Structure 1
Amino acid sequence: MSVFSAFDYQMMSKAIALAKRGVYTTTPNPNVGCVLAKAGQIVGEGYHVQAGGPHAEVHALRQAGAQAKGATAYVTLEPCSHYGRTPPCAEGLIQAGVVKVICAMQDPNPQVAGRGIAMLQAAGIEVLTGLLEADANALNPAFLKRMKTGMPWVQLKMAASLDGQTALANGVSQWITSVEARADVQKFRAKASAILSTSQTVIADDAALTVRHQALPESVGQRYPLAELRQPVRIILDQHHRLHAGLKLYDGDGAVLTVGQDDADICVALDSTGKLDLRALLCQLADKHQINHLWVEAGATLSQALLSQQLVDEIILYLAPKLMGSDGRGLFGQFGFESMQDVFQLDIADVVRVGPDIRMTVIPQYHSPNVQI
């Protein structure tokens, strides 16, 4: 028999829905929602909006006021127990007189996991965990991966004709996909902590790689003041110093960090093939720059390298109803596979119509996780 009631499920579902409101603004923090309920009624609710700002529990407690005493708190993530840019939420719940806390999941950071729960229990508060845990995990795949592995969650964006071509033989690629598909990309960019590309791609397309906030869904503009919406940092592999000030990349807001060997913003050694060490780069992005979610928009060379080194967690592939022929430029170069047992296996998680195009969400199924092919 479940220890959770139908009302508990209802309240945690509400907390999860609240947490989703922070997807465009919370990085590097996780998306968290909180509901306070007493006598079958919601007395306070809130979600984390921005790093450095009040956490979800604080917003809910402020809304509840004195009614928080004797209430049950439903939180999508274990309340924090440490002093950072904000005081510990566990302490706030204790001081408010909350009598029970239900967490969807423990903190994924192994250095602090369980401490918030222990603090609450030491104060005599009943604590239960695991309610809608899978849904809570789905709120923060990127944050969870960084906490558990020290690596960002990598989403690779690709676009091609129906026969798998990304450009004509002469390099022309604008535009393969529709206006609707290109607007759809803005949602993914806006949710990312950073956007990774190469100087070759940036120069060829004169790409700004910024979020066009006006292209985001109307609901986003209604929910967030423009000042709260951020531009992800743009991280550009530029080993041979090709970038220059005349590019659109340097127009407008948003930081640009170059990646190279010695005099770049981010210095990375070369791997055994003479290329920048991508695994070392990702570790550095997670550790020194707190990058949870890395969105990649690049050409075949970088895309293939990331996939071959098993560094891609998810592929977002846009397919346009066009045929360009075998003389075009393909999604990838040659992998050199000689057996069907060696080819990349993919799980198609989702297929959505976007204007005239199709957007596929694809999960690589690696043969041996975390081992370079």
Structure 2
Amino acid sequence: MDTNGRFGEAEEAAMRRALALAATDGVPLGPNPRVGCVLLGAAGDLLAEGYHRGAGTPHAEADALAQVDGRAPGATAVVTLEPCNHTGRTGPCARALLDAGVRRVVIAQRDTNPVATGGVDTLLAAGVEVESGLLVDEARALNQVWTFAVEHGRPFVTWKFATTLDGRSAAADGTSRWVSSLAARRDTHELRARCDTMLVGTNTVAVDNPLLTVRDAEDRPLPRQPLRVVMGERSLDPAHRVFGPEAETLHLHTRDPGAALTELFARDRQHVFLEGGPTLAAAFVRAGLVDEVVAYVAPMLLGAGRPAVGDLGIPTISKALHLDVTDVTVLEPAKPGDDTDVRITMRRA
């Protein structure tokens, strides 16, 4: 039992199981959170379990209740996120739990989404015992990006760039292919696949003509492709590869990072993978809109060339933007003779 005596051992075990269910591989990313539910009998025995499999599918509570024909009198529902209180593609989970006869609901994380919140109030008003906060840190970590987007009203932004040891993203003659190794490029595709949006500037499209899709180790496109977003006021030739049929593409005619993120959030986008050049990256950093930085550092020196990021308006070392390193990984070369790049992941301090 926890230090406050609010949760039993069976409930904590059930919550860990619910978190594991919510993290099941293959669940599509966004716009909905990952949620798991375990139903316990009066003696703490397992009645049913379920999880949400993506937008338009039954929510975790409904998935679990379906296994007991919608009836669980006297049961305890252990859920990783507050049951929703609204009717969307599916009905409100709070009402489903009431109709099933559940007497107690244990929640990890409260839902701050104004559209879905209110489930706890509905349950309490009907006389159901409700406790929240069990393994809340684990639940927030599971839905880190979704939680950030809901609480901040904008997508979480990961800025990825590749650089030489001396901070160059391209040589003096403009050549940049390839600053990063094959292993780094494959690793980048894995990171892209975890996001719902990839964002570049119009200059990157005009100069590099990227396809901007997610591909596997054999360079084959994955079934699910993030939204490709081009940001900038410049008109672009529709023949550029980014406008091809491989994935959906959106051109945001703005130079304002805040306006771009507002538009993307309105489109249910929660995680932006920023892959633009130094000018676009600098604009997002100056605006305070970069939440995570992923840098691939190649063991090479150029001595001159395009910097990895543009002017940040930082005049002195005391004003430097400090980042917290959360991970350092040395990437194994993908082929003999390839560089051994280092991936450094950082968060704003």
Normalised by the length of structure 1, the TM-score is: 0.83
Spell out, residue by residue over 1:16-61, the C-alpha distance to the aligned partner (whole angstroms, 9 max, x if none): 2222237861411112122222334433222222212211111122
User: For residues 159 and 76 of structure 1, do their structure 2 counterparts lie closer, same or farther at Cα, with a shift above 3 Å needed?
Assistant: same
d(CA) in 1 for partners of 2:165 and 2:19? 37
Say if 1:111 and 1:53 are closer, same or farther in 2 by CA, change over 3 A: closer
Kindly indicate whether the alpha-carbon contact (under 8 Å) linking 2:286 and 2:313 is maintained by their aligned counterparts in 1.
Answer: no
Q: Does 1:34 align with 2:17?
A: no
Kindly report which structure 2 residues correspond to 1:161-310, keeping only aligned pairs within 5 A, or say none. Answer: 161-212=164-215, 230-245=224-239, 247-260=240-253, 268=254, 276-287=255-266, 289-310=267-288
Query: What root-mean-square deviation, in Å, do the aligned CA atoms of Structure 1 and Structure 2 show?
Result: 2.3
Q: Deviations over 1:262-305 (max 9, x none)?
A: xxxxxx4xxxxxxx222122112212x12111111111110111
Per the alignment, residue 142 of structure 1 pairs with: 145
- Per-residue Cα deviation, 1:172-207 (whole angstroms, up to 9, x for no partner): 222222333222222322221211111221233321
What is the distance in 1 between the residues matched to 2:57 and 2:161? 35
Relative to structure 1, is the Cα distance of residues 251 and 106 closer, same or farther in structure 2, using a 3 angstrom cutoff? same
Pair 1:129-2:113 in alignment: no
Alignment coverage as a number of residue pairs: 336
Aligned pair partner of 1:6 in 6, 9, 15 = 9
Other structure's SS at 1:54 match: coil
For residues 11 and 95 of structure 2, the distance between their equivalents in structure 1, rounded to whole angstroms, comes to: 23
One-letter amino acid matched to 1:20? A
CA separation of 1:10/1:213 partners in 2, compared to 1, >3 Å: closer, same or farther?
A: farther
Task: State how far apart, in whole Å, the 2-side matches of 1:112 and 1:24 are.
Answer: 20
Unmatched segments (≥5 aa) in structure 2: 333-339
Alignment partner, residue 219 of structure 1: none
Aligned to 2:322: 345
Q: Greater helix percent: which structure? A: 1
- Using structure 2 for the length normalisation, give the TM-score: 0.88
Q: What is the alpha-carbon distance in structure 1 between the residues aligned to residue 165 and residue 156 of structure 2?
A: 27
Q: Do the aligned partners of 1:207 and 1:249 also contact (CA within 8 Å) in 2? A: yes
Give distance in 2, aligned partners of 1:206 and 1:329.
18
Residue segments in structure 1 that go unaligned for 5+ positions in a row:
217-225, 261-267, 269-275, 366-373
